[in-house]
Amino acid sequence: MTWTVRSPATKEVIGTLEETNGEQIHEMYASAAQAFASWSGLPISERIRFLRKVRLQIIEELDQIVKVISDSTGKVSVEALTTEVMTVVDSISHIEKRAAAALKTKRVKTPLTFIGKRSYIEYKPRGTVLVISPWNFPFQLSMIPIVEALAAGNAVILKPSEVTPLVGRLIEKLFTQAGFPAGLLQVAHGGKELGAALVKGKPDFIHFTGSVRTGKIIQTEAAKQLIPTLLELGGKDPMIVCADANLERAVQGALWGGFTNSGQVCMSVERVYVDQSVYQEFVDRLVEAAQHLRQGTAADSDIGSMTFPQQTAIIKEHVTEALDKGATLLAGDHPDKWEEDQMFIKPMILTNVNHGMAVMQEETFGPVLPIMAFETEEEAVALANDTRFGLNASIWTADLERGKQIVSRLITGNAVINDVIITVANPYLPYGGAKEGGIGAYHGDVGMQGFCVQTAVMVDKGRRKKEVNWFPYEGKYELFVRLIRSFWGENRNWRGFLAAYRQLLKKEPRK
Ligand code: NAD
């Protein structure tokens, strides 16, 4: 079936592409397995050479890539360039530098009780990794798992979002142009049915980024076949502004953290809690600053359009419910005034909100900043933790120690002091959520390692006839009690330990 794709911002046709037929899935897995057989045998340096080619291919086609992302999502060019392309090339460059160290076999200590043996961990690719990605950062959230998985020696099948399919095709093209072996990175173009069929096809690992709802479905399906998964899910991320914060910076941070990509960021600021002593000043300054944002498709616009029409319905529902329950809209338009298929949603600031409203509990995923005042740090922490999500949080204070203490009390996978969102862009850090924010983490060394089976290995030279813990057990109980007491008791008794160990060694097998 041929798909006609339109820009969410202009509604113009931006391209067509062929949907992947469900019957091709079996063939895709077979090609992936074939490609995996040779790719996994390549030394890491050789795999990295290929990834470098992709990075240079991206740099070569920077403007065209930005255009495809921007046309597909409605996000402004600067955001497509920085939060998508720049993050990806930095990630590839990081992998080029770190992969050999992250994936090399690691020697670990061996306890004295295993005297004479050596231990190490070997990282081996899993096989075929299925990457399922969403529409809000269609380039970054597909590319980073792909390159991590490939660096680790896997083959990959990508199922990009059906909302932004041209980005999937762009990725497919990039890898072909970079000369990757056939079958190593394949893209399955289609919607949720195709995604579900790919899960049923039994990949060796699933890397999923998307909503909590879909994450639960995929986890359930994967569990039936015991397919390991990594889930990167939603957020309702809090921002805590303390009385001693640099208020101008906090205002600008809230503005960017709440409205970048029209708020369609899993790590965006979705709830703001401000110390009551600076609350009014913060709100006034934020409302004033929001008026200077430029929205549109021009090269210097700050905020673009929404990407997915259905998302505007959720924003409308949350804001309308809040206003019906007594919230005040200080910036933006009342949803009643929105046009039927309006995709440019003016940034909204809400006050007089509370945790009884969906806008403070459910993921809004739109340009909405609801703000509450707090009296004590205790209250701020309790409010921030009062959520089923736990992806990201930010704390704004001049007292960095206090900021760190607050971070320690938050249940969150990511936290930033005096900035927003940025942990995801530091490739040295792991990236993952707590609670319904997700399960597992990628990025950093753990990211590449996560795409591997970790084999724990112990080696014995094999010269001794037997081990002390082997059969027969006759007369060994008391000796082990002595050994345990002398070694792990309050005061270590080396003499007792060695005596018990020697006697254990002397026990001969029954003849
Ligand atoms: P979604 O869950 O609707 O879709 C994500 C992907 O899953 C799409 O490719 C879709 O086709 C596929 N899919 C849907 N149903 C499926 C099924 N039954 N089996 C297999 N695949 C299926 O999410 P979305 O609307 O595209 O993205 C927005 C959501 O993603 C938000 O909740 C956001 O918070 C979350 N997100 C999380 C992160 C993160 O890193 N934690 C990053 C970005 C977005």
At residue 402, the pLDDT reads 98
Closest among 209, 168, 194, 142 to 25, alpha carbons compared: 194
Residue 1 has pLDDT above 90, yes or no: no
In whole angstroms, what is the distance from residue 438 CA to residue 457 CA?
30
The per-residue pLDDT for 100 is 98
* Confidence band, pLDDT 50/70/90 cuts, at residue 99: very high
**Measured torsion, CA atoms of residues 65, 86, 240, 380, in degrees rounded to the nearest 10:** 80
Q: What is the pLDDT of residues 468-491, one digit of tens each?
A: 999 999 999 999 999 999 999 999
Interval 53-76 mean pLDDT? 98
Average pLDDT over residues 421-431: 97
- Listing DSSP states for 151-175 in one string gives HTT-EEEEE--TTSHHHHHHHHHHH
> Ligand 1 centroid vs 40 CA: distance in angstroms?
29
Note the pLDDT tens digit of each residue in 185-242: 999 999 999 999 999 999 999 999 999 999 999 999 999 999 999 999 999 999 999 9
The residue nearest atom 37 of ligand 1, judged by CA position, is 233
pLDDT (average), residues 290-303: 95
Task: Say if residue 509's pLDDT is above 90.
Answer: no
Please state, in angstroms and rounded to a whole number, the distance separating the CA atoms of residues 60 and 40.
Answer: 28
79: CA distance to ligand 1 center in Å? 20
Q: Which of 96, 148, 266, 452 is catalytic?
A: 266
Quick one: which H or E segment has residue 496?
A: helix 494-506
Say whether 232 is catalytic.
yes
Atom of ligand 1 nearest to the CA of 234: 34
Q: What is the pLDDT of residue 136?
A: 98
Other beta carbons less than 10 A from residue 479's beta carbon: 19
Predicted pLDDT of residue 431: 98
Protein residue with least CA distance to atom 19, ligand 1: 196
How far is the C-alpha of 195 from the C-alpha of 202, rounded, in Å?
12
Strands 348-351 and 328-331: antiparallel
Q: What is the pLDDT of residue 335?
A: 97
Name the CA dihedral angle for 255, 258, 264, 266, rounded to a multiple of 10 degrees: 140
Centre of ligand 1 from the C-alpha of residue 132, in Å: 8
Closest ligand 1 atom to the C-alpha of 135? 26
Average pLDDT value for residue range 35-48: 98
User: Taking the chain, what is the end-to-end CA distance rounded to the nearest angstrom?
Assistant: 74
Q: Tell me the mean pLDDT in the region 247-261.
A: 98
Cα separation, 223 vs 220, whole angstroms? 5
Give 6's pLDDT tier (boundaries 50, 70, 90): very high
CA of 434 to the centre of ligand 1 (A): 17
Q: pLDDT at position 103, please?
A: 98
The stretch 72-91 carries a mean pLDDT of 98
The reported pTM is 0.97
Determine the 3-state secondary structure of 10 from DSSP: coil
The CA 207 to ligand 1 mean position distance, Å, reads 11
Q: Give the Cα separation of 264 and 304 in Å (integer).
A: 11
Q: Do 291 and 340 contact (CB within 8 A), yes or no?
A: no
- Output the pLDDT for position 510: 86
Pairing of strands 128-132, 416-417: unpaired
CA 198 to chain centroid: 21
Please give the backbone phi and psi of residue 74, each rounded to the nearest 5 degrees, phi first. 85, 5
Ligand 1 atom at minimal distance to the Cα of residue 232: 41
CA–centroid distance, residue 341 to ligand 1 (Å): 22
> Mean pLDDT of all residues in the chain?
97
Give φ, ψ of 507 to 5 degrees.
-65, 120
Question: Above 90 in pLDDT, residue 448?
Answer: yes
Residues with CB under 6 A from ligand 1: 132-137, 141, 159, 161-162, 191-192, 195-196, 199, 209-211, 214, 217-218, 232-235, 266, 363, 365, 391, 433, 438
Residue among 3, 131, 214, 306 whose CB has most ligand 1 atoms within 8 A, to mutate: 214
Q: Which of 446, 421, 35 is nearest to 230 (CA)?
A: 446
Whether residue 384 is predicted with pLDDT greater than 90 in this model: the reply is yes
Three-state SS at 231: strand
Q: What's the pLDDT band for 508 if we cut at 50, 70, 90?
A: confident
pLDDT at 511: 83
Give the pLDDT confidence score for residue 137 in this predicted structure. Answer: 98
Average pLDDT (154-176) is 98
pLDDT at site 200? 97
Residues of the chain with pLDDT > 90: what percent? 99
242 is annotated as an active-site residue: no
Residues 6+ apart with CB under 8 A from 102: 123, 445, 448, 449
The 128-132 sheet, strands edge to edge: 185-187, 155-159, 128-132, 205-209, 229-232, 438-439
Question: What phi, psi does 211 have (nearest 5°)?
Answer: -75, 160
SS3 content of the chain, % helix, strand, coil (to 5): 45, 20, 35
Residues 47-59 have a mean pLDDT of: 98
Ligand 1 geometric centre to CA of 349 (Å):
26
Region of residue 309 (phi > 0: left; psi between -120 and 50: alpha; otherwise: beta): alpha
- Measured by CA distance, the residue closest to atom 43 of ligand 1 is 266
3 state DSSP class of 81: helix
d(Cα 495, Cα 180) in Å, to the nearest integer? 62
pLDDT at 452 over 90: yes
Q: What is the pLDDT of residue 426?
A: 97
Q: With 90 as the cut, is the pLDDT of residue 361 above it?
A: yes
Give distance in angstroms: CA of 123 to centre of ligand 1.
Answer: 29
In the set 232, 270, 362, 377, the catalytic residue is 232
Nearest CA among 88, 85, 92, 187 for reference residue 131: 187
Pairing relation of β-strands 368-374 and 394-396? unpaired
Question: Which residues is 35 bridged to in the sheet?
Answer: none
Tell how far CA 34 is from the center of its chain. 29
Ligand 1 pocket, mutate which of 3, 166, 209 (most atoms under 8 A from CB): 209
Distances, alpha carbon 295 to alpha carbons 254, 257, 337, 395, in Å: 17, 16, 17, 28
Answer yes or no: is pLDDT of 458 > 90. yes
Instruction: In whole angstroms, give the CA distance from residue 112 to residue 116.
Output: 8
Average pLDDT over residues 141-153: 98
Q: In what order do the strands lie in the sheet with 394-396?
A: 328-331, 348-351, 368-374, 269-275, 237-241, 394-396, 416-417
Q: What pLDDT is attached to residue 114?
A: 95
User: Which band of pLDDT confidence, cut at 50, 70 and 90, is reported for residue 139?
Assistant: very high
3-class secondary-structure state, position 348:
strand
Ligand 1 pocket test, candidate residues 211, 219, 231, most atoms within 8 A of CB? 211
pLDDT band at 505, cuts 50/70/90? very high
87 Cα: distance to centroid of ligand 1 (angstroms): 20
CA nearest ligand 1 atom 40, residue: 232
Burial of 509 (0-12, 13-18, 19+ CB in 10 A): exposed
CA dihedral (285, 331, 412, 261) in degrees, to 10, reads -110
| Ligand 1 atom index nearest CA of 424 | 40
User: pLDDT band for position 410 (50/70/90)?
Assistant: very high
Closest atom of ligand 1 to CA, residue 198: 20
Q: Which atom of ligand 1 is nearest to the CA of 134?
A: 26
Q: What is the CA radius of gyration of the chain?
A: 27
Take atom 8 of ligand 1 and give the residue whose Cα is closest.
Answer: 161
